[in-house]
A and B are shown apart, each in its own frame.
Chain A
Amino acid sequence: MKPAIAVHKFASCDGCQLAFLAAGEDLLRLAEVADIVHFAEAGPVDPDAKVEIAFVEGSVSTPEDAERIQRVRACSRFLVTLGACATSGGLQALRNGADAEAWVASVYASPAYIQSLATSTPIKAHVKVDVELWGCPVNTSQVITTLRSLLAGVTPEPEREAVCMECKRHGHVCVMVTQDLPCMGPVTRTGCGAVCPGMGRDCYACYGPAEGINTDSLTRRLREAGLSSQQVVNRFRHINSGAPAFAHAAQRAAGEGDGERGS
């Protein structure tokens, strides 16, 4: 019997599901090796089916979704987060710490109709996550590699190093050194293919923090390049503002954490 897999959606843009839906022939081949039992956008709907692997796109931002993710976990042997929203809370985590109620009122004419949590939180804030796939968006090769590894009984090895390393391998000219651009590559996890420096622009950290990074050093470098402290804060408070390393860096850049030396 083919192993069952599911793709669940929470608060998101649907872009990470495209790693499957835009996979072309690979999508049809995937259906030959795995039984896709729940993937609403593709057709199958059976959210409570037991599965080998559940891929989860999106963050948790409503009381209903906070309950739903518990059911997803209970039905799944492996739970894999699919992209920035599921892994760090995503861009919409910018609401965290803000006056979410006032924000809702400013967008919707009748805010009483809106039921929403004050925060947008990653899946791991609610349930155990087995594999995290960073990226906004994730790409097909990340997803298929993870899926094949798990089905083969192998724990997938996540990308850990910074975009800078990938830039060197691609032979891209460093946009920070040559153009003084506020590139986030030194602190950002690779896996994207160093696409922004490849286009001659600064990385904006959509793959989240790499491991073993020095955000203080980057903050100093960005300030030397002429960014205001608010501009530096915005560099960290972007797609992955909920990632602890970036949240911490933003706080320090804002001068709020000056007295303490965080880990």
Chain B
Amino acid sequence: MKEHRELRIQVPVLARVEGEGALDLHIRAGVLEDLALRIFEPPRLFERFLVGREHTEIPDIVARICGICPVAYQMSAVHAIEGAFGAGPSSWVRAMRRVLYCGEWIESHALHIHLLAAPDFLGADSVVGLAQTHPAEVRRGLRLQELGNDLIRLLGGRAVHPVGVRPGGFYRAPRPAEVTALLDRLRAALPEADALVAWTASLDLPERHQDFVSVALRHPDEYPMNEGRLVSDDGLDIDIAEYPAHFRERHEKRSTALHSAYWREGISDGTAGRPYLVGPLARMNLNQNQLPPEVIALLEGTSVSFPSSNPFHGIVARALEIRYALGEATRLLDDYRVPDSPAVPVTPRAATGFGCSEAPRGILWHRYEFDADGRVLMATIVPPTSQNQARIEEDLRLSLAAFGLDRAEDELRRHAETVIRNYDPCISCATHFLRLRIHGK
């Protein structure tokens, strides 16, 4: 009987994602006929606001694209600016940018794990409900989130839209006493993060094995954050400036986010390209050899290992990155000294610059053209979520089929939402509107 049922389910707002959008599912006679993740971004047109602005204003403006990952926008921007003007950050600036980025990874990942994703796997509807059944785990998560925010405050003055970053470095160097106070808390949090990794690996995550391409930065000496080459697990290895030759944005009717597809000459069919994954799981799949042994060892005795073809292992990758970021920030701050200057001079010239850094949700690519006075002539920004969008749709198709299209409507809806949330779509980056609709014909 179920083979012939007709469904029409409409959920006006998908909960526990950053922003809002829609999903259309067409299921007829037990077959998923059509599926589209709709993202309705009230267009905020940031790339246009930047035109005519001075390079010094860029970090403050692009931060406003996303309240959850403003540091990522600032980092991709300052690297693009410095690349264009031929300025290189000092070793102190480089280290402190990494500390700042660690803070953002910690707060963003902790928010996603505890407030957005974990309720799906533990039968809760929100973190408030989860705090009833898992009070110790929730409080541990909120403490880690706060510690990440405090790391951002150390260098940025405040956690959301921090004000410390400038082209060339920072406006101010933290005082040693501020660093010492934070170091004590970072060290104390390491065992909490160890426990977090074990906890996420013990969650009842769906077993899925999918064939997808992971794309991330790779750096010869470290787990990637600010710099590196763009690599994939099918052999891509390019300078970030070559991004447009391999990744194409197209504009779909169903969305106000631009979709990205990955395309390789001689490998890809035609010109349509294929979906690809960016974010913690892609980073982990491509860079786990850069993690310290004590971080990788946390997976021993669990059922999770990397590289992984199970998209749901993304939550474990997030927990591992929290643990890594705590250790990395500790290492970088351990021999902290106040520099002669918190920034290097940056002298404008007419040039084009590229920036690509690893936002919590994956690679965030910027390109700017400047005039001789350092004013923006043109800006292009590709956020992680638009890159992941085609992969999310592909995963939905595969996951719903594996889950069983004959399931009850509520189950199908809940599973589809779980699949989407697993990617931590930063709909803030596009200020989208996600609305789930399942059509039956």
Contact A43 B42 (CB under 8 A): no
A49 within 8 A of B: no
Q: A22-B149, A25-B139, A40-B13 are in contact. Are A139 and B158 (CB under 8 A)?
A: yes
Contact A94 B49 (CB under 8 A): yes
Instruction: Please indicate the chain A residues that have their CB under 8 angstroms from the CB of B53 in the complex.
Output: 234
Contact B48 A21 (CB under 8 A): no
B54-67 CB mask vs A (1 if < 8 Å, else 0) is: 10010011001111
Q: A44-B126, A113-B256, A137-B161 are in contact. Are A27 and B142 (CB under 8 A)?
A: yes
A74 within 8 A of B: no
Q: Smallest CB-CB separation from A9: which chain B residue?
A: B20
A195 within 8 A of B: yes
A201 within 8 A of B: yes
Contact of B64 among A91, A98, A201 (CB under 8 A): A91
The contact size tier of chain A is: 35 or more
A-B pairs under 8 A by CB, number: 189
A110-128 CB mask vs B (1 if < 8 Å, else 0) is: 1001101000100000000
Contact B157 A196 (CB under 8 A): yes
B258 within 8 A of A: yes
- C-alpha spacing A17/B116, complex, angstroms: 14
Contact A196 B139 (CB under 8 A): no
Contact A136 B161 (CB under 8 A): yes
A45 within 8 A of B: yes
Q: A107-B47, A113-B253 are in contact. Are A62 and B42 (CB under 8 A)?
A: yes
What distance in Å separates the Cβ of A11 from its nearest Cβ neighbour in chain B? 4
- C-alpha spacing A91/B44, complex, angstroms: 9
What distance in Å separates the Cβ of A243 from its nearest Cβ neighbour in chain B? 16
Contact A42 B42 (CB under 8 A): no
Contact B64 A13 (CB under 8 A): yes
Q: Smallest CB-CB separation from A19: which chain B residue?
A: B160
A28 within 8 A of B: yes
Contact of A199 among B16, B42, B163, B252 (CB under 8 A): B163
Instruction: Please indicate the chain A residues that have their CB under 8 angstroms from the CB of B16 in the complex.
Output: 40-43
Q: A13-B65, A136-B161 are in contact. Are A108 and B171 (CB under 8 A)?
A: no
Q: A91-B49, A108-B256 are in contact. Are A47 and B157 (CB under 8 A)?
A: no
Instruction: Please indicate the chain A residues that have their CB under 8 angstroms from the CB of B163 in the complex.
Output: 195-196, 199, 201
B301 within 8 A of A: no
- C-alpha spacing A113/B254, complex, angstroms: 8
A95 within 8 A of B: yes
Contact B64 A239 (CB under 8 A): yes
Contact B431 A42 (CB under 8 A): no
- C-alpha spacing A206/B157, complex, angstroms: 14
Instruction: Please indicate the chain A residues that have their CB under 8 angstroms from the CB of B18 in the complex.
Output: 14, 41
What distance in Å separates the Cβ of B429 from its nearest Cβ neighbour in chain A? 8
Contact of B160 among A15, A201, A231 (CB under 8 A): A15
What distance in Å separates the Cβ of B25 from its nearest Cβ neighbour in chain A? 18
Contact A204 B60 (CB under 8 A): yes
B338-355 CB mask vs A (1 if < 8 Å, else 0) is: 000000000000000000
B159 within 8 A of A: yes
Contact of B128 among A43, A58, A120 (CB under 8 A): A43
Contact A17 B64 (CB under 8 A): no
Q: Smallest CB-CB separation from B256: which chain A residue?
A: A114
A18 within 8 A of B: yes
- C-alpha spacing A110/B166, complex, angstroms: 35
Contact A108 B44 (CB under 8 A): no
B279 within 8 A of A: no
Contact A234 B142 (CB under 8 A): no
B107 within 8 A of A: yes
B19 within 8 A of A: yes
A138-150 CB mask vs B (1 if < 8 Å, else 0) is: 0100000000000
Instruction: Please indicate the chain B residues that have their CB under 8 angstroms from the CB of A107 in the complex.
Output: 43, 45, 47-48
A76 within 8 A of B: no
Contact B12 A47 (CB under 8 A): yes
- Pairs of residues from A and B, 7 with the lowest C-beta to C-beta distance, nearest first: A15-B67, A43-B126, A14-B428, A11-B42, A109-B251, A13-B67, A137-B160
Give 24 pairs: A residue, B residue, CB < 8 Å, sorted on A.
Answer: A11-B42, A12-B67, A13-B65, A15-B66, A15-B70, A15-B428, A18-B68, A18-B160, A22-B111, A24-B142, A40-B15, A41-B15, A41-B116, A43-B119, A45-B11, A61-B42, A91-B46, A98-B48, A107-B47, A113-B251, A198-B157, A201-B163, A201-B166, A238-B57
Known: A113-B251, A195-B163. 9 other contacts (CB 8 A): A11-B431, A18-B67, A25-B142, A45-B15, A91-B64, A106-B47, A108-B258, A200-B171, A201-B166
Q: Which residues of B contact A (CB under 8 A)?
A: 11-20, 40, 42-49, 53-54, 57, 60-61, 64-68, 70, 107, 111, 115-116, 119, 125-129, 131, 138-139, 142-143, 145-146, 149, 157-161, 163-164, 166, 171-172, 249-253, 256, 258, 427-428, 431
Q: Which residues of A contact B (CB under 8 A)?
A: 9-18, 21-22, 24-25, 27-28, 31, 36, 40-45, 47, 58, 61-62, 65, 90-92, 94-95, 98, 100, 103-104, 106-110, 113-114, 116, 120, 136-137, 139, 192-193, 195-196, 198-201, 204, 206, 231, 234, 238-239
